[in-house]
Every structure is written in C-alpha cells, then in structure tokens.
Amino acid sequence: MTEAVANSNDTRMTVYTRAFAGLMLRDFRVLSRELAPFLVRVAMNPLLFLFVFTYVMPHMSGGAGANPTAQMASAGGGFGTVLLPGLMAVAIMFSGIAAVALPLAQEFGITREIDDRVMCPLPIAAVAAEKVVFSAIQSVIAAALVFPLAYYIPSTPVKVHVGSWLFLIVVIVLASLVAGALGLTIGTSVQPKQIGLIFGVVVVPITFLGCVYYPWALLNHIPWLQYGVLINPIVYMSEGLRSALTPSAHMPNWLILAMLVFFLLLLTWVGMKGFARRVLS
C-alpha cells in the first residue's frame, strides 16, 4: 500500500514537472516572437538612468565634472526641495495615465465592457471627457499626497515657498487634465495587449526627459536636448510646479501655461477621436 502511494506521488510529481516545463516552453516560444519589444522594455530603464545621470547631468555643469543637482540642493535648501516639483509632476502623470489608459485597455478588450458605459444618455465625447476629468481628480490627490511624504521622509527639510497660490492651483489642474488626456490618447491608440510596452517605451522616457531631476534652463549646455524635450508635456508640468514652489530657475510662467493649454487641447482632440473610433468599430 505504501509503495503504491509512493508511486502515485512520483507519477503526480512527474506530470506536474512536465506540465510546468511545458508552460515555460510555451512562454519562451511566445517571447521569442516578441523579442524586440522585450529587449526594448528591459533595456529602457537602465539606458535612461545612464543617459540622464552620466551624460546629461555632467554636461549641465559645462564639463566641469560637478553635479549640478547637488549645487542646486546646496543653494536651494536641500535635495528634497530640488526634487519636489518633479516628483509632483511624475505623480500627476502616472496617476492620470494609469486612471485612463489601463481601464480602457480592459474595456476595449474581448469583453467590450466599454459598450455598457456608452449606453448612458450622453454623447460619446462626453463619456471620454468624464474619464479625463475623473483621472484629473485622482492626479490632484496624488500631487497633494507628495507634500506630506516630502515633509517627513527626507533627512534634510524641504523648503517650499508658494509665491502665488492661484498659479500653483492652475498649474496642478491643467497638468492633471493633460495627464488624463494623454492617458485617453494612449488608451485609444494602442491595442490592449501592448499597453505594458507603451509604459516602458513612452511613459518612462518622457518622465526621465521631463526635467524632473533638473531645471530646463540648465540644459543650455546640451542645446539639442534642451529644445528636443519641448515636445514633452511633463516638462511644462515640472517647470510650472518648480516656478510655483521653489526659487530655482524655470521657464517663463506665460509659456508654461500656454503650452499646458496647447497640450490639453491637442491630446483631448486626438484622444476623443480615437475613443469614438474604437467605440464605433
């Protein structure tokens, strides 16, 4: 009896091992067909870390070898003070995109859950607008949560000076709406199975190149990059929050607001057209 039980257990383990190996082989087979996206996804983070911290920042000091972010920290009240506006911009961007693009990937999937949503007595464009507004509310909350975290976690105190509360509120609201509109554009432009790749290939790069870790003005030693990043909406989020919260160098306020409005209109238009196309297809 004992020998029969042992043989049964051995047989079961053999079946489990073969089944597990079969699933692994299947996943490797699928991965081999998507090798290029896989390599891009896994290489993007280290590539951007190296580019920003070993190429961009040394060049920002004019080749002197000093760390410009450390210089700003010593002059502006600590490293946390330098990073605070950029971290708020990142929180707004990621929260806004995740609140729209990820649910859309599910709703436009095989189950077509979006059909239930568009049955409400609203125009299709209004349904899309509701998603942007709802994501913007979440982005505002995410930005607000950065303040207590930045106050309690850093070892050196974060010094924040709000010159104009009105300007700060306008920047946060516009940035949150832009993030939601970008999420709508992404969620309606890519297939649901590609949404993870988009985060690695689009969202992460625009974060690293969005003046999160450094002011835009210090890129003057790398002119091609300084003007190249102007197509990145998170640059204006970071610069707007930097202007509102810290004494660091920043873009003119009128330019920040104008570009945030421009990106809001552009991305909302593109996202709504994509939303209508996907709903009616």
- Global model pTM greater than 0.85: no
Q: Which residue has the tokens 């502006």?
A: 76
Looking at the structure of the chain, the number of domains it has is 2
Q: In this predicted structure, what is the pLDDT of residue 179?
A: 93
**Which residues constitute the domain of residue 18?**
1-33
135 and 271 share a domain? yes
List the one residue out of 10, 166, 258, 203 whose CA is nearest residue 90.
203
Residues 23 and 126 in one domain: no
Q: What is the pLDDT of residues 164-196, one digit of tens each?
A: 889 999 999 999 999 999 999 988 887 777 777
Could you give the CA distance from residue 120 to residue 106 in angstroms, rounded to a whole number? 19
At residue 21, the pLDDT reads 76
Q: Are residues 71 and 202 in the same domain?
A: yes
Q: Residue 181's CB: how many other CB atoms inside 10 A?
A: 30
Same domain, 26 and 160: no
**DSSP states along 170-206:** HHHHHHHHHHHHHHHHHHHHS-GGGHHHHIIIIIHHH
Closest CA to 92 of 258, 260, 231, 218: 260
* 223 in the same domain as 187: yes
> What pLDDT, on a 0 to 100 scale, did the predictor assign at position 75?
47
Residue 147 has a pLDDT of 74
Which of 7, 62, 91, 37 is CA-nearest to residue 200? 37
Task: Give CA torsion, residues 234, 236, 242, 247, to 10 deg.
Answer: 150
Distances (CA, A) of 142 to 46, 148, 215: 26, 11, 22
pLDDT score of 126: 80
18/55 same-domain check: no
CA atoms of 273 and 187, how far apart (whole Å) = 12
Residues of the chain scoring pLDDT < 70: 1-10, 31, 34, 37-55, 57-82, 109-111, 113-118, 150-158, 247-249
Q: Based on the fold, state whether residues 242 and 262 are members of the same structural domain.
A: yes
What is the model's pLDDT at position 1? Answer: 57
Residues 16 and 93 in one domain: no
Residues 9 and 74 in one domain: no
CB 139 within 8 Å of CB 174 = no
Comparing C-alpha atoms, which of 164, 176, 102, 171 is closest to residue 134? Answer: 176
What confidence score (pLDDT) does residue 261 get? 96
Spatial contact of 247 and 161, defined as CB atoms under 8 Å apart: yes
